[in-house]
Amino acid sequence: MPGWELIDKKERIALNNLVKKEGGVLFAHGFNNLRKKFHVREFENEISKKFKSKYSLAVTSGTAALKIALKSIGVKQGDEVITQAFNFIATIEAILDTGAKPVIVGVDDTLNMCPNDLKKKITKKTKVIIPVQMLGVPADLKNIIKISKAKKIKIISDNCESMGAKFDNKFINELVDIEIFSLDFAKTITCGEGGLILTNNPKIAKYCREYHDHGHENKIFPRGNDKASIVGFNYRMTEMQAVIGKVQLEKFNFIIKENKKRHIVLENNLKKLSTIRKIPKGGVSIFDTFIFEPKKNRSQIIKYLSKKGFGTKNLPDAIKWHCSYYWKHALSRKNLKNSLKTMEKLKKQIAIPIFIKKTVSDYELLAKGLRVYLK
Ligand SMILES: Cc1ncc(COP(=O)(O)O)c(C=O)c1O
């Protein structure tokens, strides 16, 4: 459920305060004599505290976060990076942007990376594995991490669609090398556009911080005399994004709690009449989306969801942006072939988005209507 539904007076007041009361500096660094606060830095500290990571870095988007994360591990031309077929194109774009080759793995019943297929796709060139925790649900991380450790391959967890998902009672950054979030307009919390990189590795954290800011070490202020030891880029978040991000973060627990109430209604009503998406043992979802496979009347159900104003989110409404089978412009024939079984599996699923503006009673009514098609 996207945080945009909850944007209200609080975000507006935070923006007004930034401009009217706090000096109006919109840049994350410097101008110390003009400003009262450093919102991007505060936002990063709050993220670290909330999701138990030693280091957090706010950047311009989830796609930028992926690219920076890959660069921090030293991914380059000639390397292979493994990710999954149920995904978003950003992962592939970030891999290609480093010069590396994407390798696609199919999904299991969690609709996330299949550990068995992962094992088959690892080669001597594999540098990183990117499991993508799609639509709120974590992958079978126990087995994925086991495989990565045995092969000494680093993991970047793409949690753009699953901020706050857990595995074995831990946030995912506590288990892997890097976890990334997106703060774009359709995500659990949003500041319009934005991304976050969470890690517990000081070397990775240092590289990411420098790379996202033209290589700046940020040791010398004013920054005119500051030094750089790497070539970077500009992926800096603005203070405007951060003030909104901070307010949205205050709403995070409420969002997850409300997600769960609505998700449970669908789960209880539909579980005996359809196959619902599997949550891996040890995994904790953020209940962002309810996904199920009806045994009959699929197209009537999709029409019904559209008529009732829910739609079907990624499955099937936006399947072409979320299944690598359709990305002929970016992937090799072999990767497209590797995506076929996932495409066939996804084509049987229906995703119901969880909205906060729709009440629990709205979901009860919806479930009642859906049961008629499923019985
Ligand atoms: C799984 C996944 N990864 C990466 C991204 C990219 O995030 P952003 O839109 O912030 O660049 C998205 C955004 O939709 C996503 O869903």
158 lines ligand 1 (CB under 6 A): yes
Q: Kindly report, residue by residue over 280-339, the tens digit of the pLDDT.
A: 999 999 999 999 999 999 999 999 999 999 999 999 999 999 999 999 999 999 999 999
> Are 258 and 126 in a shared domain?
no
**Protein residue with its CA nearest to atom 8 in ligand 1:** 62
Q: Strand 283-284 relative to strand 166-167: parallel, antiparallel, unpaired?
A: antiparallel
> Are 208 and 261 in a shared domain?
no
- Comparing CA positions, the residue from 17, 43, 21, 16 lying closest to residue 34 is 21
Residue 2: predicted pLDDT: 80
Distance (angstroms) between ligand 1 centre and the Cα of 89 equals 8
> Are 181 and 64 in a shared domain?
yes
> Are 317 and 201 in a shared domain?
no
Asked which of 250, 273, 299 is the last residue of a domain, the reply is 250
Q: Collect all residues with Cβ–Cβ distance below 8 Å to 286 and sequence separation of at least 6.
A: 136, 162, 163, 164, 165, 188, 256, 259
> Are 155 and 229 in a shared domain?
yes
Q: Give 107's strand partners.
A: 113
Asked which of 206, 230, 250 is the last residue of a domain, the reply is 250
288 lines ligand 1 (CB under 6 A): no
> Are 260 and 357 in a shared domain?
yes
Domain limits for position 215:
3-250
> Are 149 and 132 in a shared domain?
yes
Residue 220: predicted pLDDT: 86
Distance (angstroms) between ligand 1 centre and the Cα of 224 equals 34
> Are 127 and 244 in a shared domain?
yes
> Are 300 and 226 in a shared domain?
no
Residue 1: predicted pLDDT: 64
Handedness of CA 318, 334, 64, 291 (dihedral sign): positive
What is the atom index within ligand 1 of the atom nearest the CA of 134?
1
Cα distances from 232 to residues 66, 68, 212, 217, 237, in angstroms, run 15, 9, 6, 11, 15
Asked which of 187, 220, 250 is the last residue of a domain, the reply is 250
What is the atom index within ligand 1 of the atom nearest the CA of 66?
4
Distance (angstroms) between ligand 1 centre and the Cα of 330 equals 16
62 lines ligand 1 (CB under 6 A): yes
DSSP track, 14-37: HHHHHHHTS----SSS--GGG-S-
Question: Which stretches of the chain score pLDDT less than 70?
Answer: 1
Token representation of residue 185: 């307009």
Q: How many domains does the chain divide into?
A: 2
Token representation of residue 283: 């995994």
- Comparing CA positions, the residue from 318, 317, 371, 316 lying closest to residue 346 is 316
104 lines ligand 1 (CB under 6 A): no
Residue 3 DSSP one-character state: G
> Are 214 and 309 in a shared domain?
no
> Are 138 and 239 in a shared domain?
yes
- Comparing CA positions, the residue from 177, 132, 140 lying closest to residue 324 is 132
162-177 b/e (C-beta count within 10 Å ≥ 16 → b):
bbbbbbeeebbbbbbb
110 lines ligand 1 (CB under 6 A): no
- Comparing CA positions, the residue from 24, 26, 23, 29 lying closest to residue 41 is 29
> Are 214 and 260 in a shared domain?
no
- Comparing CA positions, the residue from 62, 72, 116 lying closest to residue 93 is 62
Predicted model pTM: 0.98
Q: Indicate which CATH number applies to the domain containing 160.
A: 3.40.640.10
Cα distances from 119 to residues 36, 106, 111, 116, in angstroms, run 52, 11, 17, 5
| Cα–Cα dist 324/312, whole Å | 19
Residue 278 DSSP one-character state: P
- On whether the CB atoms of residues 247 and 14 are closer than 8 A, the answer is yes
